[in-house]
Amino acid sequence: MQLKENVTREDHIQGAEGAKVTLVEYGDYECSHCGAAYPVVKRLQKRFGESLRFVFRNFPLAEAHPMAEASAEATEYAATKDKFWQIHDGIYEHQTQLSTELLESLATQNGLDAKAMADALKEHTFQRQVKKDFMSGVRSGVNGTPAFFINGILFGGEANFETLAAAIEAVR
């Protein structure tokens, strides 16, 4: 399966545009497998350095995971203040304590206005943005999380460091 929506400036990106390999993850903040993949991605970034660009897109299974949608919308709020990755990392690093309180405390710790974020969550200001990611994943054949695309091709293996590193190495 191929990624149907190309990476654009509207995406959340770590790494340079000219990187040889682009790794796109579709993830859910409440999914424990995504929690397990979080340090794996960090290791991959360390291992491949400038040759790897990482993109995160939202794929919340909101009916199964009550905090998934709010978490995704909170990161989108943070993105408007240039703090996407701080909140993204903060959630995965404290995934077992994921709650409204955690989101607010991460906001405060990162210099965001927790009240404004809470209002945005209540109004679902960023729901459309999250949905756009979700549907681009569905159209690209994402069937669960985490789903990884390496240079636009859906990665079918186990989401562990060795397997992902080998797949990245193969296209580098």
Partner 1 sequence: MSQILPAGTKAPDFTLRVTPDQTVSLSEFRGRPVILAFYPADWSPVCSDQMALYNEVLPEFQKHSAELMGISVDGVWCHSAFGKDRNLHFPLLADFEPKGAVARLYGSYRQEGVTERALFVIDKEGMIRWSYCSPVGVNPGADGILQALEALEK
User: Which residues have CB under 8 Å from 61's CB, separation 6+?
Assistant: 28, 31, 68, 145
Nearer to partner 1, 53 or 57 (CB): 57
Residue 142 interacts with partner 1 (CB under 8 A): yes or no: yes
Q: Which of 6, 43, 64, 157 binds partner 1 (CB under 8 A)?
A: 64
Nearer to partner 1, 43 or 139 (CB): 139
* Residue given tokens 């404290």 in the structure block: 94
Rounded to the nearest whole angstrom, what is the least distance from the CB of residue 20 to partner 1 in the complex? Answer: 28
Residue 46's SS3 state is: helix
Residue 155 interacts with partner 1 (CB under 8 A): yes or no: no
Residue 141 interacts with partner 1 (CB under 8 A): yes or no: yes
End-to-end Cα, the chain, rounded Å: 19
Distance (Å, rounded) from C-alpha 29 to C-alpha 94? 10
Strand ranges (DSSP E) for the chain? 12-14, 21-27, 52-58, 147-150, 153-154
* Residue given tokens 């304590």 in the structure block: 97
x/- binding map, residues 24-63, to partner 1, per CB under 8 A?
A: ------------------------------------xxxx
Longest Cα–Cα distance in the chain: 46
> The tokens of 159 are what?
């989401």
Nearer to partner 1, 113 or 144 (CB): 144
| Residues in binding contact with partner 1, number by CB under 8 A | 15
Nearer to partner 1, 108 or 143 (CB): 143
- Give contact residues for partner 1 (rule: CB under 8 A): 1, 60-64, 134-135, 138-144
